[in-house]
Amino acid sequence: MAKQIDKGIELLAEDQGVGIEAKTGHLVTYNARFFLRKGDEVTTDNLSIASYRSNLKIRIVDGIELIDHSITLGRRQPIAGIEKSLYGMRPGGYREVLVSSHLAYGAKGVKNRIPPNAMLRIKLWVQNVQPAT
């Protein structure tokens, strides 16, 4: 049975990882893949990331393009569902979570990508956690 991480976030799968645990103020580098609840992957087209490509680290793992994102926890940089799911994760860790729309893209959704009020299934891999300096 899945457990709840926070109100609106259900933990579906987890691999703990090792090392420092991600907490407020820590710099966390992670990868994420988004899926609609019924399984369709939400992809980013080449045009929308082209302007950011020079600033992003993109890796291909098992034929899947992964973009490394780095955020400081507690600054509300990604969608709330991702940030809340990253707390407590460790380098090498993995979580698959089901995120309610109010912690994702809400009633607006994302044009041609995510319908309004859509729940998202998100897969997260933590690459690195650095303590606040």
Per the listing, tokens 């926070």 go with: 6
Long-range contacts of 53-59 (CB under 8 A, 24+ apart): 59/31
What six digits make up the tokens of 59?
């890796």
Quick one: pLDDT at residue 60?
A: 74
Per the listing, tokens 């710099």 go with: 27
pLDDT in tens, 23-37: 999 999 999 888 997
Distance from C-alpha of 132 to C-alpha of 50, rounded to nearest angstrom: 31
Distance from C-alpha of 86 to C-alpha of 129, rounded to nearest angstrom: 10
pTM assigned to the model: 0.86
Q: Which residues of the chain carry a pLDDT beneath 70?
A: 1, 44-57
Give whole-number Cα distances, 35 to 41, 118, 121, 123, 129, in Å.
4, 10, 5, 8, 25
Per the listing, tokens 């580098």 go with: 29
Q: What's the one-letter identity of residue 22?
A: A
Quick one: pLDDT at residue 110?
A: 84
The answer to whether 9 touches 116, Cβ cutoff 8 Å, is no
Quick one: pLDDT at residue 96?
A: 95
The answer to whether 86 touches 94, Cβ cutoff 8 Å, is no
3-130 fold: Chitinase A; domain 3 (3.10.50)
